[in-house]
């Protein structure tokens, strides 16, 4: 897992929507949802490693049944990139500067 510094607010979001390693529900608010996507990225998407589509899907399903939504949003918000066969760490920083 990538070492991420969580703000007090982000930690509260994680505590509210995650039980153990399961996402209880996806927050309706985008800002809170981004915290969960950041958590998943830090947990499972190392720098400079490509993950097969099947492995990435299995990893997401460990945390939430609707892995397609997680996968799509992780891509749309830049946490992961993809090609036809693989996913890898995207350009969105996990610890933004400033």
H/E run at residue 18: strand 18-19
For 76-81, the CB contacts below 8 A with 24+ separation are 77/34, 77/37, 79/37, 79/38, 79/40, 79/41, 79/45, 80/41, 80/45, 80/56
- pLDDT under 50 in the chain at which residues? 97-98
pLDDT at 98: 41
pLDDT at 2: 59
């Amino acid at each position: 897992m990538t070492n991420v510094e969580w703000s007090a607010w982000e930690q509260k979001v994680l505590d509210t929507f995650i039980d153990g390693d399961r996402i209880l529900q996806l927050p309706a608010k985008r800002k809170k949802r981004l915290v969960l996507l950041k958590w998943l990225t830090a947990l499972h998407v190392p720098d400079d490693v490509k993950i097969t589509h099947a492995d990435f899907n299995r990893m997401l399903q460990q945390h939430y049944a609707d892995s397609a939504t997680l996968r799509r949003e992780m891509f749309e918000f830049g946490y992961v990139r993809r090609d036809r066969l693989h996913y890898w760490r995207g350009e969105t920083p996990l610890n933004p500067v400033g």
